């Protein structure tokens, strides 16, 4: 891949990859590192990918693998599956709430969702990925994706409700519109 | 299909409607059309999804990330050329085309591939990383590096595990832990990156410094029996060379 083609690949995917990384890593510095590492791997190994149409999926899969690898290394894994479903149907108030609050708060709420549910949820929201594409990117079965989307959305609604509650403290993240400069 | 089963399936339905033609959703969509309660749930769910997606897409990457990615790939491009066993001239031409200047202090002038990748990683981190660290050992190393006339430390002066465990900044590069300290010499800021050699790298012969320069900054990479090192700075190759 020549330099210009690589730039086009970066321009097409680095922003959504950063958002995905930010939701996983939960801080801007680590998110930036993950995105850089992903493109670095592409530059050193990804040339072998014959179908450029699969580049997007490859990049998200690689970023997710790098995130998991780093997390294992840091021995910070938590119990991922043993969480209450928190099933609750969306109300009209839930929809209004999202419209009221800023992007930084929505991202902060997303970051409180358990990682198992957060990864597919982020791909669903940020990249408009289908359940099949998410299953491919995260290398999990389709049924698992559907289950995690359903439970993740319920957790996110609860997190957004808490974020707006009086006295709640949601830290803005750098790079998000609406974030306050410190 | 029950209403709960339909909700489960429709949770994966994208809010922009692009799944409307997917047969996997057909029964659940049909049911949502016939059941007012389920239909109301589905409308609200899609509205909620649309609002969340819209907000999340407003989050912007930090300034400089794109440039750092491209700069890092340029260095890795040079590494790839070497790894493919191209002839010396072809490797040099590729490196020139990628605007990377590699000058070795020692003959034969063959850059260590891992050193090139490590240098690219370091330059990227120097520009975009959030620097800082803590710990007495890290402070002592910084003081040593900042002393007038001092040279870069060797394995005998790097207690890697102690630095790592006491708060020195640590990063990850190709599955290896890297420690980094920042220091100032002659009014310029430098960043020293150290990674323990393992596996095949550990068995390879240590190599003298190779120099890498790109728009974002310059770096020197070298190794001894225990560690790979990169010294990076925006002060230029000559400023780095004076510290080695």
Could you identify the residue written with the tokens 């990063």? B171
Contacts of B68 in chain A (CB under 8 A): 32, 36
CA-to-CA separations, A142 to B63, B201, B220, in angstroms, rounded: 36, 40, 48
Distance CA A3, CA B95 (A): 12
Angle at the Cα of A177 (from A173 to A182), degrees rounded to 5?
Answer: 50
**Comparing A149 with B102, which gets the higher pLDDT?**
A149
The fraction of chain B above a pLDDT of 90, given in percent, is 19
- Contact A7/B117, CB-based, under 8 Å? no
- Contact B59/A70, CB-based, under 8 Å? no
pTM across the whole model: 0.54
DSSP string, B155-201: GGG--HHHHHHTT-EEEEETTEEEEEEEEEETTEEEEEEEEE--HHH
Is A177 an 8 Å CB contact of chain B? yes
| Of B110, B127, B141, the residue nearest B64 (C-alpha) | B127
| Euclidean distance between the first and the last CA atom of chain B, given in angstroms as a whole number | 72
Q: Which two tokens stand for residue B4?
A: 């709960």
Give the helix/strand (H/E) hosting A31. helix A28-45
Q: Which two tokens stand for residue B96?
A: 């020139």
Angle at the Cα of B145 (from B141 to B146), degrees rounded to 5?
Answer: 115
**Comparing B107 with A107, which gets the higher pLDDT?**
A107
The overall longest dimension of chain B from CA atoms, in Å, is: 82
B169–chain A nearest CA distance, Å: 13
Q: Is the pLDDT of residue B120 over 90?
A: no
Could you tell me the pLDDT band of residue B28, with boundaries at 50, 70 and 90?
Answer: very high
Give pLDDT < 50 ranges for chain A: 75-86, 170-182
Minimal-distance CA residue of chain B relative to A21: B61
Kindly report which listed range (B62-76, B188-202, B229-243) carries the lowest average pLDDT score.
Answer: B62-76
- Contact A43/B73, CB-based, under 8 Å? yes
Q: Are strands B217-223 and B210-214 parallel, antiparallel or unpaired?
A: antiparallel
Q: Which two tokens stand for residue A9?
A: 């690949």
- Contact A92/B69, CB-based, under 8 Å? no
SS3 A105: helix
Q: What is the pLDDT of residue A9?
A: 86
B148–chain A nearest CA distance, Å: 32
Encode pLDDT of A47-88 as tens digits: 565 566 778 888 999 999 988 887 765 544 333 333 344 456
Cα dihedral A135/A139/A143/A148 (nearest 10): -80
Distance CA A1, CA A46 (A): 9
Q: What is the pLDDT of residue B12?
A: 92
Burial of B113 (0-12, 13-18, 19+ CB in 10 A): middle
């Amino acid at each position: 891949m020549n330099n210009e083609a690589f730039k086009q690949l970066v321009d097409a995917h680095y922003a959504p990859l950063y958002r995905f990384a930010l939701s996983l890593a939960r801080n801007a510095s680590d998110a930036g590192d993950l995105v850089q590492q992903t493109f670095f791997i592409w530059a050193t190994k990804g040339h072998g990918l014959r179908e450029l149409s699969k580049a997007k999926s490859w990049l998200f899969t690689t970023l997710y693998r790098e995130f998991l690898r780093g997390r294992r290394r840091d021995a910070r894994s938590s119990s991922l599956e043993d969480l209450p479903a928190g099933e609750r149907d969306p109300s009209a108030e839930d929809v209004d709430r999202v419209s009221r609050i800023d992007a930084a708060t929505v991202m902060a709420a997303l970051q409180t969702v358990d990682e198992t549910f957060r990864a597919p949820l982020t791909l669903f929201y940020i990249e408009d990925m289908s359940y099949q594409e998410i299953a491919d990117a995260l290398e999990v079965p389709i049924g698992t994706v559907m289950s995690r989307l359903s439970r993740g959305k319920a957790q996110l609604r609860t997190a957004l409700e808490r974020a707006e509650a009086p006295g709640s403290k949601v830290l803005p993240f750098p790079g998000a519109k609406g974030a306050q400069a410190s | 299909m029950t209403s709960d089963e339909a909700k489960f399936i429709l949770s994966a339905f994208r809010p922009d409607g692009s799944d409307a033609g997917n047969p996997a959703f057909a029964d659940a969509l049909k049911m949502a059309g016939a059941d007012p309660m389920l239909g109301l749930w589905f409308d609200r769910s899609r509205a909620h999804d649309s609002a969340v997606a819209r907000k999340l897409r407003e989050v912007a990457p930090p300034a400089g990330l794109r440039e750092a990615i491209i700069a890092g790939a340029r260095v890795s491009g040079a590494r790839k050329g070497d790894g493919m066993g191209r002839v010396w001239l072809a490797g040099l031409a590729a490196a020139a085309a990628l605007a990377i200047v590699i000058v070795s202090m020692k003959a034969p002038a063959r850059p260590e591939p891992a050193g090139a990748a490590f240098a690219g990683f370091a330059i990227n981190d120097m520009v975009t990383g959030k620097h800082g660290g803590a710990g007495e050992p890290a402070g002592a190393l910084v003081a040593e590096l900042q002393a007038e006339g001092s040279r870069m430390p060797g394995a005998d002066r790097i207690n890697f595990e102690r630095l790592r465990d006491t708060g020195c900044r640590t990063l990850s590069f190709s599955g290896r832990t890297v420690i980094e300290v920042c220091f100032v010499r002659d009014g310029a800021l430098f960043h020293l990156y150290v990674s323990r050699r393992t596996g095949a790298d550990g068995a390879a012969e240590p190599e003298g410094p190779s120099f890498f320069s790109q728009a974002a900054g310059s770096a020197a990479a070298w190794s001894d029996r225990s560690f790979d090192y990169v010294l990076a700075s925006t002060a230029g190759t000559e400023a780095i060379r004076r510290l080695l």
